[in-house]
Structure formats: C-alpha cells, structure tokens
Structure 1
C-alpha cells in the first residue's frame, strides 16, 4: 500500500482510518483509565473506529518497538530528545521518553515515562502509546548509515543485477510506518497538563532481524535533507486554566519546522537556525544540558 506524505496539521484534523483487508480487524485495546481524561476536551487524533488488522497485530507481536520509541538504539540517527514548537508563539519545546515498555497482553500498547521541557519548566510524565495504524512505506527514504547490509540506492544504479539485489533487500527490510495515539499525564504540579497527540514512527527490519530507523520526509519538505523518523503533533490541556495549546515534535527539528516557520532553517546547506528566533528559545541546537536526567542523590559523608 502506498503511503502518502504525512501531513502536519496544527488544527489536528482526524486521521483517515486504515483500509480493511480480508482479515477480520481487531480493535485496539483502550488505554488505561488514568490517562483518558483528555478525551472530552482535546481534539481527537484518530477516528473512533480505527482498528488493526490481524496481520498488523501479528507484526506488532513479532517486533518490539520500545527501543525505537525511546530513541535508545545505537547509531548516529538515534536520539532520546525530541524538539519542536509549542503554543501560538511556537516557543521551543522538548520531550524525552526515559522509559518505554510494551504491554504484556496487548502488543499494540506501550507504557511510557519521560519528561518535557518548556522554558524553565521540566515536568515528569507517564502515559501510553497505542498503535492504531500500520502501513507500508514507499520511497523516498533513507536507511541507517551504519547498517552496511541495508539497501543502497547508489549501488543499485550500477547494473540491472545490482538493481535486482537492491529490490530484494528492500523487500526483506519491509519499510513501515506505525501511527500511534499518545496520551500523556504530567505529574500533579502547578499548571500541570495532559496531552493527546498522533505519533508517526518509521522503521525497517535489518538483516539480523533487529529494527532500525528509516528517515523519510513527513511532508513536502526539501527531500531527505529535512527527513526524520519520528513526528508527534497534538494538543496539551492545562488542568488549572483549562487552556489548550498545540505542539509539534520531531527527532529532527527541521522536519517539524517548515509548517511553522518557513525561514527557520538557513545556510547554504541548511542545518543552521535563524537567529531571529533566538528569543523563542532557539539559541543553539546542540546543548550538553541533560535536563531529562534525574538528579543524582547526594552522598552521605561520614
């Protein structure tokens, strides 16, 4: 099935349901009750009748996506921090999944812990990722650089036989995108909130049967240069004020930026942030401040 470009809508129009196959679809198990309070307030991100086919559920039983969601895999493309934009002023917003594990009974459900960072506030949270759709991914895409056995498009143009080998490798790699409903409940502090979002994760199967990230443009960005493997867009409800604000996050902030700021990325080859947005927290992309890490407990000196 050909997958259209993943459109980012700050208005969060409901996603289209996956087409049913001859298999009887199996409805995804609802998330735990403690993170469902947002449903009546925040915009829905999936249609109520979205389901997973038996084939999709079997794939989810076979492959555990915990490490991919968390960004805990090795390689230059992995990350534990997602960056993006929050609210009408599009201030810098960051989120990290510090723990992710698959539910023992439901392979489509993942339990998460983490922290989010906005201005000077760092808020811990718990929540769930419930996979609602699974789709095959069509090119363009880019496999992990460190994977020497991954399909290599540049090698495929050498001859017909090389092209055939490339196609066979792509078939075995089976590039996919899963789309999940993310529900987050922040720790009960002042101005704590709850979030409801759609999360799109792109991956492939390596030759050793492990999973790797697959980078692909989520929208009509500038080819693979602004590609990413994880995009989250949704809304946050402030429990105290009942105010709702929208946000977008990605492993590559430049994949999230085009629909927010057209001139966010500058430079002859890109990769540089426009200094005009420094007042919104975008002073430097790479920072050594591990804000998501728990502070070590003080040692007792006798």
Structure 2
C-alpha cells in the first residue's frame, strides 16, 4: 500500500482541481475538455484497482445516534460556501426539464435558523439559458444518519482528521421572484453527506457510495420547478459534483473514469460554455429571453 502522506497529497490535489480545472480552462467546442471529479480521490482512498477487485466494496455500517443532537450541534451552512477543499463560488450545475438542459444555481447566502436548528435560509439566483432570476427559500432537514465506510481504513480517516460521517435528508423550497419572466418555485428532496472533524469542524463528504444519501456528489437537490403563470412543472436535479451522478440522468454524459470529458453530443444542452468563468451571478439580475 502507498504511504499515507503520498496518498493524501494525491487526494487533496484531486479535490482542489475538481471545479477549478473545469471552469478556468477554455476549450475549442469541437474537442473534449478534461474534467476531474471526486472519483480519483475515492479510488485513492480505497487503494489500487487490483485491491478493489480483490476486495469488493462493503456495505456501509449504519450507527444509531441522536438525530436532533447532530443537527443542533453542527452548522451545515458552511458546506454551501467556499471551503478549504472547494475554493470556488457557490455555483452548482444541474439538469432541468425533460430534455435535461443545463441549469445553474448560485447560493449567495445560506444561514442556519436561530430557533430551528434543522432549518436553513437560502438566497441566490438561478440561470437557465439566458434568464437570471433571484430566489429565496429554505432547506428543512428531517434526519441525520451516522455511518461508517468499511472500505476506508481507520488510518486514512485519522490522516484526514475525520471523527464521524453522516448522511442527512430533508426537503427544500426555493421561490423565484415572481416579477421576473418565466419564474416559479423549485421544491423537492435534498440529501447532504458531511463529516465532522477531530477539531470540531465539518467538511463535505464525497468519498463513500451512499446510495441512500448524496451518492458521492456532496449534496443533491432533486425535485421539480413549477411555473407561477401556468402551473406546469419540470423536473430538476443539481449537485455539488454533478459528474458523480450525471451518467444516471443522461446516458454516457461523461466519458472516461477519473479524468472525464463531457460527451460532445450533449454540448447543445448548455454545456458548450461550461469552461467559461463569466461570473454571471455578479450581474444585476434581469429577465432576458
């Protein structure tokens, strides 16, 4: 097995490069750009491909714990902002509508409610095609489930200064400004995976295959958008690391294993400018058709 310092140097480099590579790199639209997801970090923690083949992934061990205490004692708002391992603006990509066109969600502010520790207030903006629309709303967390991943060694957990790992589940409702053309309400289910650290801090957790949780994507918002004007709805899904779940939404969306590429056939669905860091969230919001 590789020495731990080397393992975690690779791990940190992989995590730091996830979105930085994808948003700062400009590429000819006729070619494929390299993207990096958390898959390399996951594979590094679990050892070589040969080791993984010899020892298939084991199911997570669920550990009973006081859910209300976990939600009360941890402020998860930090998971939606710039962090040490995710030094990027809080802009998240996803799929919208039956054609799964790209949508971007920007969280300008996420704050924990002073009275209800399971409630988080959100303000931000959405961008779909050329429309930028402000929204506000809430996340209401319903449970926190502690788990242990037997596929990650205790030595690696100690090296990462991880105390416990959790899956959280709840609901969200984000209301767009009704004065904007084509506005509506986003609502549905949210899953968030996080870890507490030995120094009492928290961090996003990407490194376990939590099929009942965020599936290695950090967090997932999954639900629908309903138009104020027509009442019609459209499906929507977005995540912190969308490439961890994208292939389950659009077949072969990403090509490759560790260094992945967006399949050229899906560029027309809004992914042709994925590498352009235009900071649209800093613009004065206006409805543009």
* CA apart distance, 1:77: 7.0
CA deviations 1:159-205 (Å, max 9, x no partner) are: xxxx5x55778996210011121101001122210111211111111
Question: Match of 1:128?
Answer: 138
Alignment correspondent of 1:178 = 168
* Residue in structure 2 matched with residue 193 of structure 1 by the alignment: 184
The equivalent position to 2:70 in structure 1, one of 59, 80, 83, is: 59
Q: Quick check: which one's helix share is greater? A: 2
**Equivalent residues of 2:148, 2:164 under 8 A apart:** no
Between Structure 1 and Structure 2, the one with more strand by share is 2
Q: Please, which of 172, 188, 193 is the counterpart of residue 202 of structure 1? A: 193
Q: How does 1:72-87 map to 2 (within 5 A)?
A: 72-76=82-86, 80-87=90-97
1:1-302 equivalence runs, <5 A:
55-68=66-79, 70-76=80-86, 80-139=90-149, 153=152, 156=153, 165=155, 173-188=163-178, 189-215=180-206, 216-219=208-211, 227-267=216-256, 269-295=258-284
- Offset at 1:74? 2.3
Give the unaligned 5+ runs of structure 1: 1-52, 142-152, 157-162, 221-225, 297-302
Alignment RMSD: 2.9
TM-score, normalising length from structure 1?
0.65
Aligned length: 219
Greater mean alpha carbon deviation, residues 123-132 or residues 209-218: 209-218
Gaps of 5+ in 2: 1-63
Flag the 1:183–1:240 CA change in 2: closer, same or farther, 3 A: same
TM-superposed CA distance for 1:261, in Å, is 1.3
Change (3 A) 1:181 1:140: farther
TM, length-normalised to structure 2: 0.68
